[in-house]
A and B are shown apart, each in its own frame.
Chain A
């Protein structure tokens, strides 16, 4: 795994490399190099299985983190490729031509995070949600509780019994 990371660092401008386990590493590159690196890993390093493509919303930094996880079956190792894209202008190159299954992940990311992948097939069709009118629900500035209170009627009479608070009141009544 270390040798692989060394080889890659000679070929690509790698911003950060992190060896999590003997069989799992994460590499951070700039968005422009993702496609080339994915292609290199697939064609020359045997990582030909796309396990998943997912996103994390770093609201405070104004960034989305995309993670492409690749699996190398003969050597039983995984390589995660990370890149950060701008949250305000969330657009990323599509990889549906390299792995057709990626189109489904990209459709999901478009619906749940609002990340655009120009050229990806059926990108704007509803994936899970139907008739969604708010901002994408996985974005962290979407307040799911406020939305649910606004949209769905509340049945009165619901009370919370927090076990920790209950025991505190029972055992240490003067502190609670």
Chain B
């Protein structure tokens, strides 16, 4: 357990001492819940269309694939014309691109970031490493299947996929969302115990709450 996560006494600026237990005080203890479609099909279709046109990506490059996202932000490939943009924090984004190999250490940060994103949220696995381990298939420190740990909506194969492949992937993801198949967050909530068990199987020093809300 890290020192900053331990229970301690803190003296406030007004001189009053109070007890802080970070794992309980800084996080919500509620489990994620399933959000079923609330309206009729016509309204939900409209919602899904709107969701598909607002893909805000979390700017978190987990591996070498992050380098392929940079040209997309520039005029040459210009992903912004498709309603895709990058945001600096998890709270502002709804699409998580796992860009390439994912080490166990990064997986921990990825889980924290994913859980902080707002519903509905989507995960795209980029490159062969997220599919079956890719060239790191026998590595001691990188995971082999991303869908064991997070609900993946779409994979973009390649090592590395070119920016054009990512653009095609975005369009494919839009089709999935418009068809009402972008249900990753609900899948995660439904199989929460299974995902947590898988995550804890590889992350041995689990020093965060089960749900990082």
Decide yes or no whether B17 CB sits under 8 A from chain A. Answer: no
- Could you tell me if B132 and A158 are in contact, using CB atoms closer than 8 angstroms? yes
Decide yes or no whether B74 CB sits under 8 A from chain A. Answer: no
Cα–Cα distance between A30 and B204 once the two chains are bound (Å): 39
Stretch of A6-14, A45-53, A70-78, A148-156 at the chain-chain interface: A148-156
Contact partner, A144, options B131, B139, B143, B202, Cβ 8 Å: B139
Residues of A within 8 A of B140 (CB): 134, 137, 142, 144, 147-148, 151
Q: Which residue of A lies closest to B106 (CB)?
A: A130
Residues of A within 8 A of B133 (CB): 148, 152, 155
Give a binary string over A121-133; 1 marks a CB under 8 Å from any B CB, 0 the rest: 0000000111111
Residues of B within 8 A of A158 (CB): 132, 137
Number of A-B contacts (CB under 8 A): 57
- Could you tell me if A148 and B139 are in contact, using CB atoms closer than 8 angstroms? yes
Decide yes or no whether B205 CB sits under 8 A from chain A. Answer: yes
Decide yes or no whether B174 CB sits under 8 A from chain A. Answer: no
- Counting contact residues on chain B (CB < 8 A from A), the size range is 20 to 34
Task: With both chains docked as a complex, state the minimum distance between the C-beta of A93 and any C-beta of chain B, in angstroms.
Answer: 29
- Could you tell me if B138 and A131 are in contact, using CB atoms closer than 8 angstroms? no
Cα–Cα distance between A128 and B142 once the two chains are bound (Å): 13
Decide yes or no whether A145 CB sits under 8 A from chain B. Answer: yes
Task: With both chains docked as a complex, state the minimum distance between the C-beta of B149 and any C-beta of chain A, in angstroms.
Answer: 10
Residues of B within 8 A of A152 (CB): 133, 142-145, 148, 202
- Could you tell me if B201 and A151 are in contact, using CB atoms closer than 8 angstroms? yes
Give a binary string over B92-129; 1 marks a CB under 8 Å from any A CB, 0 the rest: 00000000000011001000000000000000000000
- Could you tell me if A130 and B104 are in contact, using CB atoms closer than 8 angstroms? yes
Give a binary string over A103-132; 1 marks a CB under 8 Å from any B CB, 0 the rest: 000000000000000000000000011111
- Could you tell me if B138 and A153 are in contact, using CB atoms closer than 8 angstroms? no
Report B184-213 residues with CB < 8 Å from chain A CB.
Answer: 198, 201-206
Task: With both chains docked as a complex, state the minimum distance between the C-beta of B118 and any C-beta of chain A, in angstroms.
Answer: 27
Q: What residues make up the interface of A, taking CB atoms closer than 8 Å to B?
A: 128-134, 137, 142, 144-145, 147-149, 151-155, 157-158
* A to B CB contacts below 8 Å, 5 in the list: A128-B105, A130-B104, A130-B204, A137-B141, A148-B144
